[in-house]
Every structure is written in C-alpha cells, then in structure tokens.
Amino acid sequence: MSRSFDKADAAPLSAIEELYYSARQDYYSRDYPQAQSKYEEILREEPGHQQACIDYAELLFRFGRYEEALEQISQPLSTDFFDPQANFVAGSIYRAMDRPVDALEAYGWASRSMEFRSSAYTAMAELQLAENNLEMAADYARKALDYNVHNIMAYQVLAVKHRLAGEQQAVDSVLEKLWQIDPLNHFIRFEKYLNEPDAAKLETFQSLINNEFPYQTHLELAATYLKYKQKPDALQVLALSPEHALVDLWMAALDEEKTDSKLDALLAKPIAFVLPYRKETLHLLQQAREKRSHWKLDYYLALNSLAFNEIQQAAKLLTEIGDAADEATFYLNRALLLERAEDRDPSADLQKAWEMDPAQWRHWQHLARHRAENGQEQEALSLLKKATSRFSGNYVLEMDYIRILNSLGQYKQAMALLDKIKVLPYEGAGEGRALFETVYLNAALEDMQAKRWNAAQTKLEKSLEWPENLGVGKPFTANETMQDYLLGLVAKARNQQDSFRSHMQQVQAATSGISLNRSEQLLALFALEALEKSEEAAALWKEIQEEGNEETVRFIGQLYLGSNETVRSDPGNRREALLEKIAELRRMLQ
C-alpha cells in the first residue's frame, strides 16, 4: 500500500482540537465519564464547538438526561439548522421524551444526509408503527431499505406491520428475507409464532435461545415490541422467559393485574446476578419504588444509575440502605462500588459479607486483598491460608496467596505452590506466568545479594520457563531483559567475561526496539555503562529525557543517577518494583 499511516507528518492541531479527538476516542472506547469530562472542558473554552456540542448532547442522551441533552443540542441546531447529525440526535432525544411529532420533524431533516438516511427512515417507520399508522410505517421502512438493503430494524417494522394488517403471505416473505440476513435473530421465530400460533413454532422459538442469559433475550424482544407500542406481544414474550427478578419487574409494570404478585416475586429472589442497566429498567424501578419500600429496589436502582453515570445518586442510594440488607452479596458489592465511586473504606462491608456467608470464596478473597493493600499482610496471609485449604484447587485464591508470600519474602513456599497450582487457560491469562517470573526473580535477587551465585543462576534460568500449569503459552517474542541483565551480573561475579558481555549486548539489543517510555530503558543504560559505552549511555539518557513522559523520566533518572529522593513507582507495577531492587543490587556490587 502506498498510503502512509505515519502520524509524524500530520499538521499540528490546536489544543482544543487535540482535546476533542481525545474525547471522541474515549467516547468510542466507551469510557463515557472520561469523555464527558473532556467535552465539558472543550465547551467551557469554546462553547460554539459544533461537533463537541453534538457529541456531548448525544452523551447526555445516552445517560438518560433528556432535558439537558435537548438544551445542549439546541446550540448546534442554532448554528446550522440543517446539520444532519444534530437533527438525528435531536430526533432521538424527542423520541425518548415521547414527543413523536418533533422527533419525526428532526429525523426528516437528518434523512437528507446519506450518512443518516436509512437510520432516520427506520426511526420514522418505528414511530409511525407505534402510532398505528401502518401504511406510513411500511413506506418509511421501504425507504430505509432502499438505502440499506440489510437494515434488520426496517425489516422488523415491515414484519409487524404486515402481521397487524393480516397480510400473512407478506409476513412470511419479509421474515424469509430477514432470515437470509440474520438467521440467529430470535425476532424471526417469535414473529412466525405470532403470525401462525402453534406449539411447534413456539418450541422452535424457545429451543434456540441457548445463551448464558436467556432472560436478556426475552427482555430485548419485549423492549422491541414496547418500542412499537405492542404491549400484548411484549407481555407474551416475557411470559415465556425463564424466571428472573428483572422479568418480574417488567411484568409488574406491564400487567396491572399481576403487579403485586410480580413485585412479591421480584423481592423474594436473591440479588446475585441481577444487573439492571437498561433505560427501560431505570424507569420501571423508579415506578416500583413508588409502590414498595424495599432495600432491593434501592440497590437495583443504584446499579442502573451507575450504568447511566449517575454516580452520586447511586452512592446515596447504596449508603442509605445501611444495614437493612439481609444478603451477603449486597455488602460485598457495596464495598467494591463505593470504594471505587467515593473512595469509601470498605472494611466494614467486606467483614460483614465474610461473616454472613463464609461459604463464598470471593468474600475471603476481597477481605484478604483489602487487608493486604492496607498494610495488614500477616492478617491477609492467615485468611488466604485458611481459604486455600477450604477451597482447594481455587487458583484465584492460590495466586493471591502466592502474591502475599512473595511480598513477605517467603519465596521458597511461594515457589513450591507455583509447582502445584493449575491455572485454567483463558484469553489474556498471563497473570499466573507473571507471578511465576516475579517470585523467581525476587528469589534470585535475594541470592545475589547474599552472593549465592549458583543458586541465583538456577532461579534466573527457571524464571525463563513457561510452565504449562500456569495457563498461558510462551509468545513468539518474550521480554527477557531482566533475566539477561541479572545473568550478566552473575557471569561477571564468576569472572566469565564472554558470557557477561554477551548478556549485556542482549539487553542492549532488546531495549533498542522498545519505546523510550518503557521503564526497562533503565537496564539499557546499565548495560551500556557495564560495556564501558558511556557516550552511548549519555546519548540514550538525553533521548529519554527529550522524548519520554514525565513519570518515566523521573523513575529512570532517580535510579540511574542515584538520586537520594524516594523512588515513587506504581505500587501495582511489578516490573518497576523489580527494577528498583536491581538498581539497589547494582549499587551494592559496584
């Protein structure tokens, strides 16, 4: 390809534009709180930034803050009434606020753009279907298909329209086209059942819902029918769902005759694995709280509020529950949620969860982790020792136990456990191997400080292995820079000059291809000095200072230059902790 993907030649952006692209990337990456903060900063500096105004309004819409979103979208529409994206966002906001006429008008302007045409026509078709304007719904759905022949949502509108109009053959034709595009779509099979109800079609529909959360499939279908204002169809699909608290909640709101019984069923079910996040559920929980006062409804509303970035409201709800909850799961979840949202001390809740249900291994895990993170490592060690005995074979607890042993310098016991642990392979399962490497490197460093060179070399060579029981295979290119540097020091201590120089050259070669922002560049500086290449080391250090970020430069500088300042490495960064020990060992051997 002749196209260049190098950003080096790109024209510099203004500070505002650079911040905008950063905000947009956060938004696309679903880091919505970070995106919100950046958009707000942009609009404080430049209130008329057209694209930031639109994006921010869309973000507010996503958070369910419709009044604020509508006020925000008025700015870009005032600047350019015909802006297609602004109109599409405005249409979506009006629709959420149940203002169909305003929504249709906004979508109409958005449909003038090829980018939004098919989506806008689809939304207009759904609005017309909800108003029972069947022919207009079909007309807009067909227009949507003119510009996107694979528009699943437009086909769904047509299928429902034809069924409601009694056009059975047309339903079959539309569902056949939809099946060719998306054969796994459960809407197709349920519509076939609604079009011609019989036991065989119902069995076909139910038998193919085999995912981990089948009730969510039923909720999604119910939400689709409610969007079309087809409440009987929504109730029918919910009635077929496996039992779940959220299904009870929806049915309590939709079926007035069953409101009390479904609320009773909802409150009787445990809260484990009940994770509300939908905008429809948020509204239904608010309604349910008007009818009943119960800690579970407050808890569910708090979870749903978190999904909409309403962190303060969620924290308030969780705090006000106090000790009313009678399930250990609540106290564990509140501890974790409030610690992250409000930096609140989770000790009491973690302790209560553990006391209420010691049969749940996660209660042991989180209580031990909290104690270890707060300087109570001996208490954490005691807990994990009991936990690994009680929950034999639980590799998550076993890895936490090994971590504590490592931090306390009990390397022999940690190494023995690493030989026995069996970590199940999973995507990104590098944690067990990283722990293995860390323990053996720490043990080797201890031997080197005591000048036990044979023992140190054995452990360093062991740290290069990738044992099968740790759940991950060796990558094509492994980072062995630390081992090379330390093996070089061992060779030097034994007066093996060729081996010493070879290892130091390998360090130099390995670090030449990595970013200057990597803390391992410290080893490159050490290796160059060891090879008596002081000028090259000085040039590399200058390059790191010029191009590295502030944190990396400070970290490397303090260890390389021998500063008396306390090195502030990231507590969770195992490699930086090891580099500190290596720098200390180097000073000792000089």
Residue-wise pLDDT tens digits, 52-65: 999 999 999 999 99
Q: Are residues 341 and 367 in the same domain?
A: no
Domain boundary among 428, 458, 478: 478
Query: Average pLDDT, stretch 235-256?
Result: 97
CB 217 within 8 Å of CB 189? no
What is the pLDDT at residue 115? 96
Say if 112 falls within a structural domain.
Answer: no
Domain boundary among 478, 498, 525: 478
What is the pLDDT at residue 562? 78
Single out the residue of 240, 232, 153 nearest to residue 202, CA to CA: 240
Domain boundary among 357, 380, 402: 357
CB 381 within 8 Å of CB 408? yes
Q: Are residues 274 and 291 in the same domain?
A: yes
**Residue matched to tokens 């990231």:** 570
Single out the residue of 240, 271, 238, 227 nearest to residue 129, CA to CA: 227
> Worst-scoring range by mean pLDDT, 45-54, 119-128, 567-576?
567-576
CA distance 337 to 343: 9
Residue type, position 113, single letter? S
What is the pLDDT at residue 5? 67
Q: How many CB atoms lie within 10 A of CB 67?
A: 10
Task: Give 427-437 pLDDT, tens digit per residue.
Answer: 878 999 999 99
What is the pLDDT at residue 486? 97
Q: Are residues 387 and 420 in the same domain?
A: yes
Long-range CB contacts (within 8 A, 24+) of 555-561: 555/519, 555/522, 556/519, 556/521, 556/522, 556/525, 559/522, 559/583, 560/522, 560/525, 560/526
- Rounded to 10 deg, the angle between the 152-164 and 114-130 helix axes is 20
Say if 440 falls within a structural domain.
Answer: yes
Q: Are residues 301 and 369 in the same domain?
A: no
Mean pLDDT of the chain: 94
Q: Are residues 394 and 452 in the same domain?
A: yes
Whether 463 has a pLDDT exceeding 70, the answer reads yes
Domain of 541 in residue numbering reads as 507-589
What is the pLDDT at residue 567? 54
pTM of the model: 0.88
Single out the residue of 100, 108, 85, 90 nearest to residue 227, CA to CA: 100
Say if 352 falls within a structural domain.
Answer: yes
Task: Give 505-548 pLDDT, tens digit per residue.
Answer: 999 999 988 888 899 999 999 999 999 999 999 999 999 999 88
Say if 189 falls within a structural domain.
Answer: no
- When divided into structural domains, the chain yields a total of 3
Q: Are residues 346 and 399 in the same domain?
A: no
Q: Are residues 465 and 377 in the same domain?
A: yes
What is the pLDDT at residue 427? 82
Q: Are residues 345 and 253 in the same domain?
A: yes
CA distance 23 to 34: 7
Say if 185 falls within a structural domain.
Answer: no
Task: Give 381-397 pLDDT, tens digit per residue.
Answer: 999 999 999 999 999 99
In this structure, what CATH number is given to the domain that contains residue 404?
1.25.40
Say if 60 falls within a structural domain.
Answer: no
Q: Are residues 383 and 469 in the same domain?
A: yes
Name the pLDDT band for 343 (thresholds 50, 70, 90): confident
The percent of residues in the chain predicted with pLDDT above 70, rounded, is 97
Name the pLDDT band for 2 (thresholds 50, 70, 90): confident
Task: Give 288-338 pLDDT, tens digit per residue.
Answer: 999 999 999 999 999 999 999 999 999 999 999 999 999 999 999 999 999
Q: Are residues 369 and 332 in the same domain?
A: no
Give Cβ neighbours of residue 33 (< 8 Å, ≥ 6 apart): 309, 311
Give Cβ neighbours of residue 54 (< 8 Å, ≥ 6 apart): 73, 76, 83, 85, 86, 89
Say if 274 falls within a structural domain.
Answer: yes
Say if 316 falls within a structural domain.
Answer: yes
Name the pLDDT band for 371 (thresholds 50, 70, 90): very high
For 422, how many CA atoms within 13 A lie in the half-sphere containing its CB? 2
